[in-house]
Chain A
Amino acid sequence: MKQSLSRRTVLTKLGLAAVAAAAAPAVNAAKTTVQKVLVKTEAPKDYDPTQHKWQMAFDVNRCIGCGHCVEACKQENNVPIGPYYRTWIERYIVTKPEPRSAETRGEVRVDSPEGGIHGFNDVPVPEADILQSFFVPKLCNLCEHSPCVQSCPVGATFDTPDGAVLVDPKYCIGCGFCIQACPYGCRFMNPITHTAEKCTLCYHRISRGLKPACVEVCPTQARIFGDLKNPVPDDPLQEFFKKNRVQTLKPHLGTDPRVQYANIDKEVR
């Protein structure tokens, strides 16, 4: 079983291996491009995602916790009944500190009964004990460095050039890795399709010039949405960023969320 193993053949093989290793990133980039072209979104054919950059922001002071946004989202996107939410509202109740406790605040109670879809009718602590309370709407944080996109083993979830993070339900294998990787609890496993699901910014609507359902129904304009590449006169988004100092959620994780909040509290995670 002797084989001729000349220096030439060894070097040729090593060379080929090196070329293959060097070509891998290029092949991967090409594959990603092809994937982006081939992946079907809910946008109309003439929609060019490179001409838009969608942005969502929240003015927490304006949210009244009515829950219309949650309901609109569930209906618009056929989100299954049960603990499955593309958007939800959290209520924060900060109680007064105990007398002579030398604290600035008492305890912080957070709840979101059924995602806040029916509003928040009961107050779990006597009103006299409340220092302050506020509502925080939540949805996909549209991270610049999304852990969900990074971790999807098949590339079924992807960033679109216009700033959305989408899932291709025909491609998703339902492993749940993206759900574990999302620090904000924004993803869920759809119990009917058995694929990962999340807020799409109502991609089927925004790509047709409409607002996302949650923004459309918000009675107080707590949700501010717009296109950074095509500002309109008196653009609410531009106004928002002019008037407010903003924060993102869990900035220490380095995900760089594009969704930004004004008037938020340190307790919000």
Chain B
Amino acid sequence: MDVTNVVVEAMPHFEGYVYPNEATLEPLWSVLIVLYPYITGLVAGAFIMASLVRVFRVKALEPVYRLSLLTAMSFMLCATLPLLIHLGHPERCYEIMMTPHLTSPMAIFGFVYAWYLMAVLLLELWFDYRLDFVRWSKTEKGFKGLLYRILTVGVTDESVGAVALDHKLSWIISIVGIPSAFLLHGYVGFIFGSIKANPWWGNVLMPIIFILSAIVSGIALCVIHYMIVSWVRRKPIDMRCLDIMGMFLFYALVVDATIETLDWVHRIYSKEEDFAVIQQMAREKLFFSLNIGQALCGTLLPLLMLGATQLARKRIPDIVRKRMYLASGMLIVLGVLAMRWNVVIGGQLFSKSLRGFMSYKMEFTGMEGLLMGGAVLALPFVIFVVMVKLFLPEKSPAQAAEAVTI
């Protein structure tokens, strides 16, 4: 087998000394692996948002409960997609589940993912929606009617006892779901945090930072989704609900920013052998995405805006508050994307010899290019729109019935 001459040699730009195997044109993990923790984080965050209603009984957030769950679900369905596309042999991906190597952080992710999708999200959604499915299946015709009939799985009991059981089980699953959501995304953090070979990643705080930034991004996405869905449907926004979301978003962001700052304080204070590299990363290689994208636009500006809405809620008119929440939400969602970029790409912009730097210029086309990345990121939003059409009518039959009873 003589295949040695097939590959065209293209030397990328790099500074200082990098190990010869690191001098590749593109980093091994590129934009798709940036999207993987991003999408997974949005799932975990949106679920935490939903559980605020069910577990912590925050009644004001009731209008966004289902919206949050559908957000979580639509992103969950796409969470493994970037990983799968990125594999050298995607056709062998089932091996992760069939013959998992139990010492590998990545091996267990398949199970964590399956558990979260099957045992938490799907079940919670089903118990929450069961009564609606039954009622819709009676009123809707054609494809939609058939879909709702299939989704009832034959359980068409509408009795008070059955509905009470639905609520109880949904509540229990929510309780199980919170640690599961932490596990799901903490685990993603651990995949990076466990790599001791790379000082940018190998960090005990990594799972915690991932969880916190996930919660922040998930709540922010729910804020955006809620405002856009209301706007499209020309329905008034429940300001009390939005204010409470803004409050949770603010507190989550405070905790997240504190822990991320702590990480930097520790790195700067301890000045370990990788310090010079990390310093140059922050000052040059990642200057825009880290300082401008993540720290200034993704953290500081939203903190100021959300902080202002907390301090002077009554003095800021509704319309201004709405815009501040929307702007903060968008900045946070983009800032967390920048954070994922900084972690994943940043960790591959310096040599493990700690003597040099690589550079990365994203391709436009190709499997790891901008187009593919955009498509993978757009897919969950498309799924979300379909789900909202199917499962979030302006008034669900259960709510309509409740309204009549009242």
Contact = CB atoms under 8 A, between A and B. Distances in A.
A130 interface: no
Interface core residue of A173, A191, A193, A269 (most chain B CB under 10 Å): A173
Interface in B87-123: 87-90, 92-93, 95-96, 99-107, 109
Contact of A111 (B17, B107, B194, B201): B17
Contact of A153 (B4, B100, B196): B100
B104 A150 contact: yes
B6 interface: yes
Nearest to A179: B28
Given A115-B20, A154-B101, A177-B106, A81 B9 contact: yes
A83 B23 contact: yes
B341 to A, nearest CB: 16
Given A35-B99, A151-B104, A152-B104, A185 B22 contact: yes
Contact of A82 (B7, B18, B352, B354): B7
Interface in A93-126: 109-112, 114-115
A245 interface: no
A181 interface: yes
A173 B99 contact: no
A152 B195 CA distance: 12
Interface residues of A, number: 55
A85 B20 contact: yes
A180 B29 contact: yes
B4 A79 contact: yes
Contacts of A84: 7, 21
A1 interface: yes
Contacts of A28: 102
Contacts, number: 156
Contacts of A184: 19, 352
B372 to A, nearest CB: 17
A147 interface: yes
B95 A171 contact: yes
Contact of B4 (A81, A110, A183, A269): A81
A53 to B, nearest CB: 23
Given A78-B1, A83-B24, A173 B87 contact: yes
Contacts of B22: 83, 185
B3 interface: yes
B89 A181 contact: no
B323 to A, nearest CB: 42
B4 A154 contact: no
A194 interface: yes
A254 B202 CA distance: 14
Nearest to A31: B99
A258 interface: no
A171 B104 contact: no
A117 to B, nearest CB: 9
A151 B201 CA distance: 14
B318 to A, nearest CB: 45
What are the 5 A-B residue pairs with the smallest beta carbon separation, nearest first?
A174-B88, A185-B19, A194-B88, A183-B197, A155-B101
B7 A110 contact: no
B6 A269 contact: no
Interface in A169-193: 171-177, 179-189, 191-193
Given A80-B7, A180-B197, A183-B352, A112 B107 contact: no
16 contacts: A81-B4, A85-B20, A109-B17, A110-B355, A112-B17, A112-B20, A115-B20, A150-B103, A173-B96, A174-B87, A174-B92, A179-B28, A181-B195, A183-B197, A184-B19, A192-B6
Contacts of A31: 99
Nearest to A268: B353
B198 interface: yes
A261 interface: no
B239 interface: no
Given A88-B20, A110-B355, A152-B101, A173 B2 contact: no
Interface core residue of B7, B93, B197 (most chain A CB under 10 Å): B197
A253 interface: yes
B5 interface: yes
Nearest to A90: B17
Contacts of B6: 80, 191-192
Contacts of B100: 153-154
A223 interface: no
B68 interface: no
A105 B188 CA distance: 44
Contacts of A155: 99, 101
B21 A186 contact: yes
A176 B29 contact: yes
A19 B157 CA distance: 37
Given A173-B87, A183-B196, A188-B24, 19 more contacts: A1-B162, A28-B102, A31-B99, A80-B4, A81-B4, A81-B9, A82-B9, A83-B9, A83-B22, A151-B104, A151-B195, A153-B104, A153-B106, A155-B99, A174-B87, A180-B28, A181-B195, A186-B21, A253-B197
Contacts of B18: 185
A173 B88 contact: yes
Interface string A138-169: 10000000010011111100000000000000
Interface core residue of B18, B99, B101, B347 (most chain A CB under 10 Å): B101
B353 A151 contact: no
Nearest to B3: A192
Contacts of B5: 81
